[in-house]
Every structure is written in structure tokens, then in C-alpha cells.
Structure 1
């Protein structure tokens, strides 16, 4: 695979003091249509116990994937669900949502992601949508070379096997998969139908790159992965929007005036409220 550029995640905090590692592109120059990848990975309860109390969003899709641990999700649409290890949750926020994600107490620690996908200008004010994989599960593809690929969003092929996620479709043809390689494992994946392709390594090391690195790839070349240790990475692909991005906190629109209107609508209660 051809690596075009590299980006290292940086430590930050969000919600009620939750420690996360973040890769962000709010200028739309590197990962369009993806805006942000937040990784929460800790065995220390103090790093995540505060969770994410009620807060709003507009103009984006939030995609949550939990590897271990869990969060209880609530939103103003009446959805209330525990998202735990192996599951995903998708919210196409459109006009607006208010939601909370609070950790479920256990002894596993926490490892998960929240991914932001930008929405096209024409869709940013449509009604909100919600889905998760709790009832359906997610398909897993395997090869004979020590690789398995969990299909989180979109359509994927591995070793002449194909599968589609039951969740979505996400905006901008966004697709996400979690690939795992055992020590000595290899994998080859082609995504030439997409303009944007990158990986984020979350465990071990792959092709000499370490956990916490995001690698922007040439989509016209196959992804060829190998490792000497048990490793994992998220693979992202999508179609760039190439639209102006105006970002302020939980809102992503196309102009500053649209951001100000989002704030006014939220303050006026037009997003609704969570029934606690």
C-alpha cells in the first residue's frame, strides 16, 4: 500500500473529563468526508467514568464503535440502548439531536471510538435518524492468513468473501471496518471505488506503523498489511464532499451564520429534550 501522509493522534479531553486520543480534520483537507476520530482506550475508570452528559449535535453523523466496555445511549428521539463490546451505533443528526453516552460499570476497562462523518449541505437540516447493531450483530470476514475483518459500516470484501453492515447507509458512502491480524498475519483489501482511503492503527503495529497513527493511503493501490504481533486497525473509505466546513463545538455546518442559527435553535429548545 502507498502511504501518502501520516498523522499521529493527540491526547485531549471531552465530555466530563474523559481522556481520549483524537485525530481531527475540520478543514476538510485530509480525511473528507470524515471529520474526527476519537479513541477512548483505558483500564483506569477515572479516565472515562464522567462519560458524556447530555449535549447537542447538528450537521454531522456520529458513529460509535465499542471494542470493550460499554456506554448507555439516550437521545431526544426516545432511543435508550446499551452499546457494548462488538457493537456500533449510528446517528445521522441532521437538524439536531440531544444525546448522552454514559459508561456502563464493569471491570473490563474501555476501548471504543466515536467517529464524525460530515453531511452534505442539502442534508444537514433533515430529520435525525438512529440505528445500532445490538439486535442484528455485525458480519465478520476471514482469510486463511490470520486476518479477520469486522464490517462496521458499508460494503467490504476480504478473500473473495463480501458482506454489508446492517447499519446505515452513512453519508458520503462512508464505510468503516475493523481488521485484526494475528502475529505473522497478512491481508489484502482493495477499495479502488473510493476516492478517500485511510487507516487508524489501534492495537499493536502494522507495516511498521504503531498504534495511534493515522495513514492516508492511495486508494488506487491495494491495502496490503502484515504484522509480527497481534494487531488491529480501523479502515475508512468514502467520497469527499468538497464543501465548505464551518465548525463550532458539536455543530458542523457550511457557514458561520448557519452555526449561529444552530446555537439559536438549540437555545430555543428546538432540538427537543432527553426524557431522563
Structure 2
């Protein structure tokens, strides 16, 4: 399951430091998914704590959804490729995530929310990413950034390359997500057969590439690593990233400023110390969320 190659890169083209595949998992009320970050093979890529891909056209795999559950101390990012997901919370927020839409939720000091399939059948496909918060912002007020598909900039920065910019700056566009502590870059990149693209990635940011269609070569041509569908590359440092596809492929590119703080994590809560974690459980138990 785990293939590792340790490399180094200066402030130039990023190389692949490690490649991993996800593991089958279940979450919510039995939703079947693949967990890529947050496994024994890859615990985290600071500041990213978890990455799940859910993909099925069998309603039995997803129809039970994610009923009401609490969060504190981090952010959840849901990006839909196919299907519709209705969300709601104890703050009175509600809405529907459509294909191509994005929700960046900052749980902060505490929120109780649900995410339930809006459809009864058909393909349900998307991702959920967990992003840590620094200690100074763990107890901030909760907030949502709901982004409909039409609000996501789409660009063609090179022949055969289609890019959707979800967060950060890429392809002469700025993503709609703003005010995030780790200054994230998140782009959805589709490459036709033979296409190649080099994009800037902030030096010092931790980053990864996850291939969810076809195959993608990651890194400068002479030292590129081949990633098939379902494989994630943890990136070494650098200020650019080159992606190439021989037969066509599509991937997520994600990067963010590392937090570098202790992590105390259990279930739906992510804090800095065990005492803060215990307090989170107690606050939820007595209804302080």
C-alpha cells in the first residue's frame, strides 16, 4: 500500500517525496469511502489532517449520509464532483452542495451539523478534506463559505489543460474561498493526453497531489513520478509544480502553510492538548456548542 522515496528539492520544481494509496473506510451512518490522509500509512500532511474520497452509484453506499455530529478546532472542506448533498447545522445554516460546488466550513469553537444526500440514486462523488486551525483561531466563531459551481473560476492556462481554482491563486485567477489561516491553494486540474502545465506553489507550503481520473506524472520531466488513479503524492518543497498526462488525467492539487503545533485529536475534535480535547467533549455533552 505504501511506496516511499525520500527526495529533496530547493526553491525550484517540486518533486514527489512520498506516494500512498488510500484505504477503504466507513464514516457517518455507514457511508463507504476511501481515506487517503488520516491512515496508518499517512497520518497527516500539516496542516491537512484527513482526505476522503466518496464515490459510488450504489445508494446503499451513501444514502444514510452523515447525520448530526459536532466539530471543534478545525475546518472541513467538501467538494462535489457528482450528486447533491444537503447540509444544515444548529446555527440555522442550510443549503445544497451541487456538482462542482464547494463548502469550506470553519468549525471554530463548535458546531453541530449534518450532511445528507439530496438524491435517492445515481452517482455520488466528491471529497472531504480536514484542515487544522492554529491555536489562536481554534475557538473562533463558526462560519461557512458556500461556493456554488458558477462562482469557481475556470481557466485554460495551456493547451489541453482545464483548471478550476477553488482557493488561492492559479492560472491568473483567484479562488472564491477567503480568510483561511493556512493561506491554502486548492485547484482541480484536468489534463488531456499529452498535456503539461507548470503552476506556482508557495515555497514553504506543505502540499499534495491526488489523482482521481486517469494518470498524472508529477514533477519536472527528468524526475517525474507516475501517479495512477487513487494515488496521492506528498510534495517536497519548491516554488513550482509540473503536471503531465500521457493518456489524460485529473487531479486535486492542495497546499497550505504548516501550523507546526501539537495536535490532540479524537473523533470530531482537533485541539492542541488532551485537556482541551476533554473540555470539548464536556462542552458538547452539556450543550455549549
State TM-score, norm by structure 1: 0.91
The alpha-carbon deviation at position 168 of structure 1 amounts to 2.7
Is 1:222 equivalent to 2:240 in the alignment?
yes
Match of 2:131 in 1: 117
Is 1:11 equivalent to 2:24 in the alignment?
yes
How many pairs align? 267
Secondary structure at the residue paired with 2:276?
Answer: helix
| C-alpha RMSD of the superposition | 1.9
Question: Cα–Cα, structure 1 residues 182 and 135, in superposed 2: closer, same or farther, change >3 Å?
Answer: closer
| Counterpart selection for 2:97 from 79, 83, 101 | 83
Secondary structure at the residue paired with 2:280?
Answer: helix
Match of 2:46 in 1: 32
| Counterpart selection for 2:176 from 143, 166, 186 | 166
Aligned counterparts of 1:139 and 1:194: Cα–Cα separation in 2: 25
Aligned counterparts of 2:215 and 2:160: Cα–Cα separation in 1: 15
Range 80-89 or range 2-11, more displaced: 2-11
The alpha-carbon deviation at position 95 of structure 1 amounts to 0.4
Runs of 4+ in 1 over 6 A off after TM superposition: 26-29
Aligned counterparts of 2:149 and 2:254: Cα–Cα separation in 1: 24
Secondary structure at the residue paired with 2:277?
Answer: helix
In the alignment, is the contact (CA less than 8 A) between 2:23 and 2:39 conserved in 1?
no
Range 143-152 or range 79-88, more displaced: 143-152
What 5-or-longer segments of structure 2 have no aligned partner? 1-13, 218-225
Aligned counterparts of 1:171 and 1:201: Cα–Cα separation in 2: 26
In the alignment, is the contact (CA less than 8 A) between 2:199 and 2:240 conserved in 1?
yes
Match of 2:58 in 1: 44
What 5-or-longer segments of structure 1 have no aligned partner? 272-276
The alpha-carbon deviation at position 134 of structure 1 amounts to 2.1
Match of 2:7 in 1: none
Match of 1:183 in 2: 193
| Counterpart selection for 1:212 from 230, 236, 242 | 230
The alpha-carbon deviation at position 184 of structure 1 amounts to 2.1
Match of 2:112 in 1: 98
Is 1:200 equivalent to 2:200 in the alignment?
no
Aligned counterparts of 2:30 and 2:76: Cα–Cα separation in 1: 20
Matches within 5 A, 1:254-265: 254-265=272-283
In the alignment, is the contact (CA less than 8 A) between 1:26 and 1:245 conserved in 2?
no
The alpha-carbon deviation at position 132 of structure 1 amounts to 0.7
Match of 1:154 in 2: 168
